[in-house]
A and B are shown apart, each in its own frame.
Chain A
């Protein structure tokens, strides 16, 4: 983000008098692309604090660094300079195993779905369930109820090719939503991502969008959404 923020952007996230813990903590974060003379800075000294249960929506013009910050928080990119803590773990300069563990705690809704073409909707979601080490019997029930809730009940055994764009997007949040933490129910933390101009109906922030539905259906996830469009109402 090119516009510097010195005050941590947070609303607090209180339950009674109790402030919920920080899930994302960004300090002094700089990020560069390219090498040598082509090296270009994309993030300038970014600050951000997000607490459990908050829904954060960030907007900005194309090229302002939204995706860069989101992918950094989502552990899809290696942090270069500054401090980046996700779920209490410092990601800047950490080793590969820690990143792999943090990734398992996160959900990431991809802009381009990124589903496995060779697997059915059920098997796609099951890839995440297997990673979480869920009992197959329990996983089966959860996957079916999740996909049904997302409106894919009758498409459970279809491959992505025969799903519509919206259906694919419904399926993709379920990829990362399997917390291994027994104290929290799933979904836990998700980062819906949309930089494309989308109409109200398919926007991830609309009432009917998968991200909103998934966020409402659980008790306290942290949700960060990014868009180039100002959010209507």
Chain B
């Protein structure tokens, strides 16, 4: 077996290796965080849609984004239900309303000891959703179960992921202690009858769920006949594009190419005479991701952040590796003088780079996973460490180290051994 020189070098000089690992680790954490932020933006974009049960979505052609969905006639949903391929077609209401943080938990509203930071009584905008309690539109069984409690328009379920500024009794998040609490939603009085856990990412700081009548009470500018989404479930989800075409014909929507990639080419002018558009789940997600990642400044900042982190990472890793190689230049020159060829030298340096990447990656992954938790708890951004992110960052870490190692090797390639001692 050949002498594992790269491994011996890594093991031998512990200080140098520790500095290298710290440098690589820092770069990797930077990239992890930026990808996490970008992922949070993407997740924000589709978090609520991911929780809904549908194969095709009907919505207004004037739709802007989740919290500005605009409305269209409910009759379109009933029309869609007439197709034999359609298993069910349900209306879904969603809009922004105002939530007053409950004051009921304050023992004495006139007491001088009231905490000035207590949000009680303040108004916050809140995502309000309306669904039929007998036939809820959610995929998750636990939310559907809870929705059955919404037997009265005055009842609401509050998302326990909502921020503390919405006034939970415990001050942290909404819990059993808030059940039965009364407060105001829009111009009307409501009672919290239950909790659900969904989260809205960065679209809003809080969310609540009620039934359609309750939604109209909270958002009185809308009528029960004007809905925000029509959710169509098919017997066979693979027929989605075909059913979409049928529906377009039924609604009299002009034929045009609409795919996930071409949604940007929508021409508003062609849609003026129709009141509804039909999208598959992929189109909905692509549109929403585009809206959040490309259209919003937030998305652009984080997309750019990934690149910045990558370049900063390469700069750090290059500095660490090139000084590492410079320190060992005498030894590499000796190898060269003995008659080892450039391929062997490349092998040693690259092995050392990859080993450094591996040793730096593992602790960074753990630290980043922890930081994801901390950021999510502190800001409510949905940060998820997925295998895909782990893999991407792993490949990037190796690539960074290899590119930097190769860069640092150039001097060794060109110079005579006598100049390197």
Contacts and interface: CB of A to CB of B under 8 A. Distances in A.
Interface of A: 71, 74-78, 96-97, 100-106, 108, 110, 112, 114-119, 123, 126-128, 130-131, 136, 159, 175-176
A101 B339 CA distance: 7
A136 B338 CA distance: 18
B338 A77 contact: no
B416 interface: yes
B3 A126 contact: yes
A128 B11 CA distance: 21
Given A110-B421, A114-B333, A117-B12, A175 B338 contact: yes
Contact of B330 (A76, A108, A114, A123): A114
Given A76-B417, A104-B339, A110-B334, A123 B12 contact: no
Contacts, number: 78
Nearest to A106: B339
| Contact-size category for B | 20 to 34
B335 A127 contact: yes
B28 to A, nearest CB: 25
B188 interface: no
B13 A117 contact: yes
Contact of B338 (A96, A117, A119, A176): A176
Interface string B329-342: 01101111111111
Interface string B401-421: 000000000000000111101
Given A77-B419, A103-B336, A126-B3, 19 more contacts: A97-B341, A100-B341, A101-B339, A105-B339, A110-B334, A110-B421, A112-B330, A114-B421, A116-B5, A116-B334, A118-B5, A119-B3, A123-B8, A130-B2, A130-B3, A159-B12, A175-B334, A175-B338, A176-B337
Contacts of B1: 136
For the complex of A and B, 10 pairs with smallest distance between CB atoms: A118-B12, A104-B339, A103-B339, A76-B418, A118-B8, A71-B418, A114-B334, A76-B417, A77-B418, A77-B416
Given A112-B421, A114-B333, A103 B5 contact: no
B336 to A, nearest CB: 8
Interface string B312-344: 000000000000000000110111111111100
